[in-house]
């Protein structure tokens, strides 16, 4: 049976407003107040961080610049049926746009055109000089098509024109394909890059390989230490904790420099080995400026990120569990494997994932101690940002890395919860 | 963790191996930082232990402060071939300027936000929190690339403003996290009591809330400072020589002239990190002690 409670008169506050309305109003006010406190920082982060990252994502597919340089050419080009060579109008449009175009803008466009088909750059650069001369002389050509082909026979090569088709759209996926060692064939199908230009897939794999190695070594080294710290009396463990926290607080560059000092050929470690007579003076081992150096330095730098989560998990595992297991007849090894280890899984996964995620995005340490074969993907992002100025490819590499990180963090959040990140 | 008397000799052996292994790892963690300190006092222009440094009794000829003099810009040493100048001091001033300014802004914004986030009425808390701490999660090289492209549109690249904006964005997550953690144990009845006694919200904030959360705020500020002070990827791309900071100068130093002057600066930074670490530890223990009293 259903009991219905109905009141004809609503409960009122002393001001005569219904209580329900009044409560809602207060609630809204409280929400607004809380939000207003957060608002300045939220706005700041959105402007200085989130929008720039979004901008980078856009840039990785953006292909609009070239459309601003050759609008007329592209318009005429789209009328072409794709047979043979384009009609006279296309040649005329590109002639005009090359004659009037601003040097810097044309230059940027040429760089882009070269990504689709190499040869564009030199073709247009040579042509442009001749066009300038023709315009100066005031004698405009009768047939633009013939004139251009006369200037450079490349204009009679249909492959250049077919390749142009890739640039018509204002978005492109070419940078993503490049980031995976693929490129477009002139007819727009995806093909592998030439052998000597396949560098990114190898670097992606090496990034993963180094990250896995570093995570593995961090776990092997960090697990016993975290166990020791969690089981020692507080006054000893607090003291030993300094050994973990001090590197954590020290500048990354200091630690990287320190590793160069330790590992270089006449460095500390080689010196000790020679002094102990393990190796001869002329057999000094090359431990830095290669992948070994990267792995050693990154392991030491990321080790605290493994130890701290492990420690906080092990701290709360009661010591009586191991004793109980042994009391029931388990050998210490079995007790550890069956009772202790399963309870540390949250710590292992948290620390492991944290180290792995941090390692994947590392740039500074590999750049300084990695030499030639110890570079990770961050190296190429920086290289295209500062050296080749191929910002599209730079953004594409960054975007892939970002997505990879977000997936891993999503996983991390599922397993441990992002709020559980503790500092020191 | 003394061993009980019934342990077998095998277990005993394993236990000592375990202790030895842990000792090695601690050594691995700390040795590089310790090793650079004596080399910074070397006479030699290379970053190595010279023979004179290893003899006993110590050879006074092998030790000197010449690289420290070089670092602070005293160029009386005629035997040095590398160009000597006040670059390191200039970088230090810049680093402190950028670091302190970023810390101030980051701590103010971060503390306010943490106060808001800790209120029970905060809408979309999870989403906002993940946006606010995202600068800590995204790899620096991606952040640097994104910021470089975007800030270039507004001519903020190669300016102090741009670098400080970037550093504030990177540092605020640390402030938000530490202050939010402090506010977990915060008794909201305090603010209600203060307000019922007639204090305006601002007065309540400075007289009641602030003293209670101050340890968290200071820890957050120290994290923010060290984040900005040690940050190298952003300044590599967004700073010109006018905005030279210590990390940028160290980076250039490691790449070009490998000389012990880098180790002098490194030693100073290790000392600085010891100071900061001790402060944070003291604050943490104080907070723990206070919480312990409250629980009783």
Cα separation, B224 vs A304, whole angstroms: 19
CB pairs under 8 A between A and B: 267
Average pLDDT over residues A386-411: 91
Average pLDDT over residues A232-257: 89
Nearest chain B residue (CA) to A272: B49
Residue A8 confidence (pLDDT): 60
CA distances from A160 to A148, A155, A179, A380, B138 (A): 13, 8, 23, 29, 40
Cα separation, A143 vs A132, whole angstroms: 17
Q: Give the residue carrying structure tokens 């005993």.
A: B12
pLDDT in tens, B109-158: 999 999 999 888 788 888 898 899 899 889 999 999 999 999 999 999 99
- Domain limits, chain A: 10-59, 65-172, 200-420
CB contact under 8 A, B29 and A300: yes
Distance from CA of A128 to the nearest CA of B (A): 29
Q: Give the residue carrying structure tokens 């971060």.
A: B110
Segments in chain B forming alpha helices (H): 9-40, 51-54, 66-71, 87-117, 125-137, 140-153, 160-183, 189-196, 201-204, 210-230, 233-238, 246-255, 261-295
Average pLDDT over residues A351-373: 89
Of the residues B39, B133, B141, B277, the best mutation for testing chain A's interface (the one with the most A CB atoms within 10 Å of its CB) is: B141
Q: Give the residue carrying structure tokens 């492209």.
A: B149
Residue B292 confidence (pLDDT): 61
Chain A neighbours among B 134-153 (CB < 8 Å)? 134-135, 137-151
CB contact under 8 A, B25 and A221: yes
Of the residues A52, A358, A375, A416, the best mutation for testing chain B's interface (the one with the most B CB atoms within 10 Å of its CB) is: A52
Cα separation, B121 vs A34, whole angstroms: 7
pLDDT in tens, A101-153: 888 888 888 888 888 888 888 888 888 888 888 888 877 788 888 888 888 88
User: Which of A309, A302, A341, A342 lies closest to A416, judged by CA?
Assistant: A309
Cα separation, A423 vs A419, whole angstroms: 11
- Domain limits, chain B: 9-71, 87-295
Chain B neighbours among A 257-286 (CB < 8 Å)? 257-262, 264, 266-268, 271
Chain A neighbours among B 220-279 (CB < 8 Å)? 223, 226, 229-230, 232-233, 236-237, 247, 250-251, 254-255, 258, 262-263, 266, 269-270, 273-274, 276-277
CB contact under 8 A, A381 and B28: no
Does residue A247 sit at the B interface (CB-CB below 8 Å)? yes
Residue A40 confidence (pLDDT): 95
Inter-residue contact B107 to B224 (CB < 8 Å): yes
**Which residues, other chains included, contact B35 with Cβ-Cβ below 8 Å and sequence gap of 6+?**
A258, A261, A262, A268
Distance from CA of A286 to the nearest CA of B (A): 16
Residue A419 confidence (pLDDT): 54
User: Which of B258, B253, B264 lies closest to B70, judged by CA?
Assistant: B264
What is the rounded average pLDDT for all residues in chain A?
86
Q: Give the residue carrying structure tokens 């990267």.
A: A294
Please list every residue in chain A whose beta carbon sits closer than 8 Å to the beta carbon of residue B154: none
Chain B neighbours among A 45-104 (CB < 8 Å)? 45-46, 48-53, 55-56, 59
Residue B293 confidence (pLDDT): 53
CB contact under 8 A, A35 and B122: yes
Judge whether residue A418 has pLDDT over 60. Answer: no
Cα separation, A317 vs A333, whole angstroms: 17
pLDDT in tens, A170-208: 888 889 999 999 888 877 788 888 888 888 999 999 999
Write out chain B's pLDDT in tens, 296 residues.
567 777 788 888 999 999 999 999 999 999 999 988 988 888 888 888 877 777 777 777 888 888 888 888 887 777 766 667 788 899 999 999 999 999 999 999 999 999 999 888 788 888 898 899 899 889 999 999 999 999 999 999 999 999 999 999 999 999 998 898 888 877 888 888 998 999 998 898 888 888 888 888 998 999 999 999 999 999 999 999 889 999 999 998 888 867 788 899 999 999 999 999 998 888 888 877 776 654 33
Long-range residue pairs from B65-73, CB within 8 A, at least 24 positions apart, any chain? B65/B41, B67/B40, B67/B41, B67/B42, B67/B259, B67/B260, B67/B261, B67/B263, B67/B264, B68/B40, B68/B41, B68/B264, B70/B261, B70/B264, B71/B261, B71/B264, B71/B265
Please list every residue in chain A whose beta carbon sits closer than 8 Å to the beta carbon of residue B141: 361, 363, 378, 381-382, 398, 401
Q: Give the residue carrying structure tokens 């090793």.
A: B35
- Strands A190-192 and A182-184, by their bridges, are antiparallel
Distance from CA of A367 to the nearest CA of B (A): 10
Least CB–CB distance from B233: residue in A36, A363, A402: A363
CB contact under 8 A, B237 and A385: yes
Whether domain A200-420 has CATH 1.10.3720.10: yes
Judge whether residue A400 has pLDDT over 90. Answer: yes
Q: In the Cβ-directed half-sphere of A138, how many Cα atoms lie within 13 Å?
A: 0
Q: What topology does CATH give the domain B87-295?
A: MetI-like fold (1.10.3720)
Task: Tell me A10's DSSP state.
Answer: P
Cα separation, A58 vs A171, whole angstroms: 9
Cα separation, B16 vs B11, whole angstroms: 9
Chain B neighbours among A 289-308 (CB < 8 Å)? 300, 303-304
Cα separation, A56 vs A62, whole angstroms: 10
């Amino acid at each position: 049976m259903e009991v219905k409670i109905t009141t004809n008169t609503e409960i009122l506050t002393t001001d005569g407003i219904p209580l329900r309305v009044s409560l809602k109003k207060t609630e809204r006010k409280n929400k607004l107040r809380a939000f207003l406190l957060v608002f300045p920082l939220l706005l700041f982060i959105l402007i200085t961080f989130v929008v720039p990252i979004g901008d980078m994502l856009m840039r990785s597919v953006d292909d609009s610049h070239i459309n601003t340089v050759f609008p007329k050419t592209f318009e005429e080009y789209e009328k072409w049926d794709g047979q043979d060579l384009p009609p006279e109008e296309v040649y005329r449009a590109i002639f005009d746009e090359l004659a009037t175009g601003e040097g810097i803008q044309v230059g940027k466009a040429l760089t882009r055109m070269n990504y689709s088909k190499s040869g564009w750059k030199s073709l247009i650069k040579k042509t442009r000089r001749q066009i300038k001369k023709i315009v100066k002389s005031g004698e405009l050509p009768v047939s633009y098509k013939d004139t251009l082909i006369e200037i450079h026979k490349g204009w009679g090569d249909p492959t250049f024109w077919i390749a142009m088709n890739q640039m018509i759209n204002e978005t492109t996926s070419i940078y993503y394909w490049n980031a995976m060692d693929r490129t477009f064939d002139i007819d727009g199908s995806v093909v592998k890059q030439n052998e000597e230009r396949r560098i990114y897939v190898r670097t992606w794999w090496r990034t993963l390989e180094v990250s896995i190695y570093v995570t593995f070594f961090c776990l092997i080294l960090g697990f016993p230490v975290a166990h020791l710290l969690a089981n020692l009396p507080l006054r000893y463990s607090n003291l030993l904790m300094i050994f973990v926290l001090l590197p954590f607080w020290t500048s990354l560059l200091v630690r990287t420099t320190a590793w160069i000092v330790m590992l270089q050929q006449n460095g500390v470690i080689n010196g000790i080995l020679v002094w102990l007579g393990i190796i001869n003076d002329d057999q000094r081992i090359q431990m830095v400026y290669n992948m070994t150096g990267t792995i050693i330095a990154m392991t030491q730098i990321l080790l605290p990120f493994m130890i701290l989560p492990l420690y906080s998990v092990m701290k709360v595992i009661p010591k009586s569990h191991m004793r109980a297991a042994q009391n029931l007849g388990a050998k210490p090894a079995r007790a550890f494997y069956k009772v202790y280890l399963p309870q540390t899984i949250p710590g292992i996964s948290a620390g492991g994932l944290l180290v792995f995620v941090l390692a994947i995005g590392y740039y500074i340490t590999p750049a300084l101690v990695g030499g030639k074969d110890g570079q990770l993907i961050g190296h190429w992002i920086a290289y295209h940002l500062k050296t080749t100025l191929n910002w599209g490819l730079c953004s594409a590499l960054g975007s892939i890395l970002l997505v990879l990180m977000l997936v891993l963090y999503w996983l991390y959040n599922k397993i441990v919860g992002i709020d559980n990140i503790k500092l020191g | 963790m003394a061993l009980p008397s019934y342990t077998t000799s095998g277990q005993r052996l394993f236990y000592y191996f375990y202790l030895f292994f842990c000792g090695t790892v601690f050594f691995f963690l700390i040795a590089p930082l310790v090793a650079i300190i004596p080399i910074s006092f070397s006479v030699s222009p290379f970053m190595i232990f010279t023979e004179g440094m290893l003899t006993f009794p110590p050879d006074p000829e092998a030790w000197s402060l010449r690289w420290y003099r070089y670092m602070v810009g005293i160029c009386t040493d005629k035997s040095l071939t590398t160009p000597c100048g006040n670059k390191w001091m200039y970088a230090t001033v810049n680093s402190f300027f950028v670091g302190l300014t970023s810390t101030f802004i980051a701590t103010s914004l971060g503390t306010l936000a943490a106060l808001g986030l800790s209120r029970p009425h905060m809408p979309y808390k999870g989403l906002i929190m993940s946006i606010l701490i995202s600068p800590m999660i995204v790899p620096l090289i991606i952040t640097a690339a994104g910021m470089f492209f975007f800030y270039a549109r507004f001519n903020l690249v190669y300016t102090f403003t741009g670098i400080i904006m970037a550093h504030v964005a990177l540092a605020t997550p640390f402030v938000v996290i530490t202050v939010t953690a402090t506010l977990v144990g915060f008794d909201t009845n305090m603010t209600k009591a203060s307000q019922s006694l007639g204090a305006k919200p601002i007065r309540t904030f400075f007289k009641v809330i602030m003293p209670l959360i101050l340890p968290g705020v200071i820890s957050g500020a120290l994290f923010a400072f060290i984040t900005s002070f040690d940050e190298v990827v952003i300044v590599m791309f967004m700073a010109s020589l006018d905005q030279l900071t210590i990390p940028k100068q160290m980076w250039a130093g490691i790449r070009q002239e490998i000389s012990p002057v880098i180790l002098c600066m490194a030693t100073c930074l290790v000392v600085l990190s010891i100071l900061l670490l001790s402060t944070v530890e003291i604050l943490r223990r104080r907070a723990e002690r206070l919480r312990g009293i409250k629980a009783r």
